[in-house]
Structure 1
């Protein structure tokens, strides 16, 4: 068994009279890659922000391994006006006291195919270039857990594959734990080992990608079946034809 690095116990988040999350219990182990899926408004981003410490739960607790380092890539990253990729990397290095030489920083920019745009304002970068920068900043401080939120939304196929290659090299191959929030089931199936399905702020299912593929043929089919069940009341039917609800 891998070491548990994160233990979420009975976490709820309430805004006025509405629960964004209700009684969430979830554990993540070292090196484990978890996909967080569900319809818009199900609480995925709220949960990821609570895990990262950006939001506080209304009740419950998030227990983290001592000295756990978390990296997060936001769905919509906003940078100060006039700042460049090189400026942001230097800022992160100063903030996290990361000892990178000038040559190492330029090497990172080259690896992420950002070296040609290093001194260009981030606001002038394309969507794919900004996403590569977002991912670089989420892993530059060598985190134990990386949280990615809709990492390939709005990107074309070629850029998306480049992003996927970065994820393979910097998260999978380096055995970092990952929480992947996504509507893209290709991403979930490719990178995750476990799936957590959220609906109306509650965990309705927790399973493995391997089991989902065996029963439904793909993560896409599984997700569609869950949507149909919770939105329309249609019970899911696995590939084998036996109803599992």
Structure 2
């Protein structure tokens, strides 16, 4: 379970996130949808303690992320697939992460297999990886300890169509087994394909939240998304 309550974050005079509240539940994939600059990434950073909210609070598994014991064992996080040491191999990257969580080499092998990175690919330095391979490596790191919550920021960037289908199946299986997934994207079609619940954000604000079925029943999901885009454009012009 992920709970955001009135999260607000300012950078100088700019309000990046304005009283954002939403919930992501177990057995569900929650799509975090909005145009670039809507505040999705900043919100996710507040969820996992990388940014301190000016007001409001976030809870994961009932407590603030910083209070989760050995958090990597319970919450898998991918916020920036490019934020890896380019001189290390994929296997070395995962091995170091596993060691910090008290996991053995078998966890690394299992994660590499799960995301489809071969032994040869895992032995290459990440500086030579394509964006799609870095995304797979980041997802592998998020899955290392078989967590119960996944928080993924734009994980489909750089994936080809077969990779997107693979990711969709992986997250569906994860949720079906009781996991909570929060997945951000600026692509309407991607969220429409995978999400059970949707949170739409624009201009730093949550503009709509609900099941995909309910949001579609109340009005076209496309209309809601383009409304968020228009809201974002107005906010940008005002700034």
Taking structure 2 as the reference length, the TM-score comes to 0.82
Q: 1 CA distance for matches of 2:114 and 2:26?
A: 25
- Residue of structure 2 in register with 1:27 after alignment: 23
Q: 2 CA distance for matches of 1:94 and 1:9?
A: 33
Q: 2 CA distance for matches of 1:111 and 1:200?
A: 36
Corresponding position: 1:78 with 2:83: yes
Which of the residues 139, 147, 162 maps onto 1:135? Answer: 139
Shift of 1:84: 0.8
Structure 2 residue runs without a partner (length 5+): 235-239
Q: Deviations over 1:23-58 (max 9, x none)?
A: 222233333321112222211100011001111101
Please tell me whether the aligned partners of residues 6 and 20 of structure 2 are also in contact (alpha carbons under 8 angstroms).
yes
Q: SS at the partner of 2:189? A: helix
Which of the residues 182, 185, 192 maps onto 1:182? Answer: 185
Between the two structures, name the one with larger relative contact order (CA 8 Å, sep ≥ 6): 2
Please tell me whether the aligned partners of residues 115 and 136 of structure 2 are also in contact (alpha carbons under 8 angstroms).
yes
Q: Deviations over 1:89-143 (max 9, x none)?
A: 1111111112443xx5334323322123121101112222221111111121222
- Residue of structure 2 in register with 1:59 after alignment: 55
- Residue of structure 2 in register with 1:44 after alignment: 40
Q: SS at the partner of 2:37? A: coil
- Residue of structure 1 in register with 2:201 after alignment: 198
Please tell me whether the aligned partners of residues 4 and 58 of structure 2 are also in contact (alpha carbons under 8 angstroms).
yes
Could you say which structure has the larger radius of gyration? 1
Please tell me whether the aligned partners of residues 26 and 181 of structure 2 are also in contact (alpha carbons under 8 angstroms).
no
Give the aligned length.
224
CA RMSD of aligned residues (A): 2.4
Q: 2 CA distance for matches of 1:29 and 1:107?
A: 26
Shift of 1:86: 0.9
Which of the residues 144, 164, 169 maps onto 2:168? Answer: 164
Structure 1 residue runs without a partner (length 5+): 233-245
- Residue of structure 2 in register with 1:126 after alignment: 130
Q: Name the structure where helix makes up a greater proportion of residues.
A: 2
- Residue of structure 1 in register with 2:237 after alignment: none
Q: 1 CA distance for matches of 2:32 and 2:145?
A: 23
Q: 2 CA distance for matches of 1:33 and 1:165?
A: 11
